[in-house]
Amino acid sequence: MGSSRLSGTFISFEGPDGAGKTSALQAITTQIKPVLGDQLVITREPGGNPISESIRAIILDRANTAMDYRTEALLYAAARRQHLAQTILPALAADKLVLCDRYVDSSVAYQGAGRQIGEDAVAQMNTFATDGLLPALTVYFDVPAEIGLRRIQAHRDPQKVDRLDVEQAAFHDRVRAAYLRLQAAHPDRIKLIDATQNRETVVTTALTLIKQAAQNYFD
């Protein structure tokens, strides 16, 4: 693995849509930015670089109805690689604490299990894309799919709240099951938080895990 010279600490946030990753990341940033200053790097895929953004636009383009699931997985991995090369690796080389909203486990869960192209295959492809670089800690926000979806839909047309079709629910159930398998397979890296708890408890728990994994930044 090419990460041995990297002196920073890399942490990812994972979990289904609506689990509370982004809002927890914001709350944590508010708390620790005054202490860490430029030592703290908050990022998310595709990471804001032009190449990853262009790849992302191809994935999301509604005109691309012919997109094959493996093509989609390869494009996500390509966008991830570029974000890693342009943002994460330079930050780690400069001794920063990097908190990233989603990373490889999202692809294993969503493409591998959700799209059913194979969790191992997607993991292997991402090992190539990342040169095996994994976070020191992955904070996994665990919620049943329907709770996450309900949180997201709470801000939309209330008439649409209960209109989750069966296929969509099954997709999200596969995603969560895959996350739980990943956590069970990598218990030292992936720490589960019960994200059905109130925001304050979730944020406090996540911050405690981060301080344990990145102790030297908080001395």
Ligand X SMILES: Nc1ncnc2c1ncn2[C@@H]1O[C@H](COP(=O)(O)OP(=O)(O)O)[C@@H](O)[C@H]1O
Interface with ligand X: number of residues (CB under 6 A): 14
Question: To which residue do tokens 């809002």 refer?
Answer: 23
Question: Any contact of residue 156 with ligand X (CB under 6 A)?
Answer: no
123 marked as part of a ligand binding site:
no
Q: What x/- string results for residues 17 through 56 when contact with Mg ion is judged by CB under 5 A? A: -----x----------------------------------
Q: How far apart are CA 159 and CA 156, in angstroms?
A: 9
In this chain, which stretch among 15-23, 43-51, 107-115, 120-128 interacts with ligand X, using CB under 6 A? 15-23
Residue number closest to Mg ion, CB atom = 22
8 A C-beta contact, residue 71 and residue 117: no
CA distances from 184 to 26, 135, 164, 188, 191 (A): 27, 16, 29, 9, 9
Question: Which of ligand X, Mg ion, none is residue 211 near (CB under 5 to 8 Å by kind)?
Answer: none
30 marked as part of a ligand binding site:
no
Residues linked to residue 194 through DSSP beta bridges, in sequence order: 142
Q: What x/- string results for residues 185 through 214 when contact with ligand X is judged by CB under 6 A? A: -------------xx--x------------
- For residue 201, the minimal CB distance to ligand X (Å) is 8
Q: How far apart are CA 193 and CA 143, in angstroms?
A: 9
Question: What are the helix (H) ranges across the chain?
Answer: 21-36, 50-60, 69-83, 89-93, 104-107, 119-130, 145-153, 166-185, 199-213
Could you say which of 8, 18, 47, 135 contacts ligand X (CB under 6 A)? 18
First to last CA, the chain: 29
- For residue 21, the minimal CB distance to ligand X (Å) is 3
Question: Any contact of residue 23 with ligand X (CB under 6 A)?
Answer: yes
By three-state DSSP, how is residue 127 classified? helix
Question: Any contact of residue 150 with ligand X (CB under 6 A)?
Answer: no
Annotated binding site for ATP: 15-22
Residues that bind Mg ion (CB under 5 A): 22
Annotated binding site: 15-22
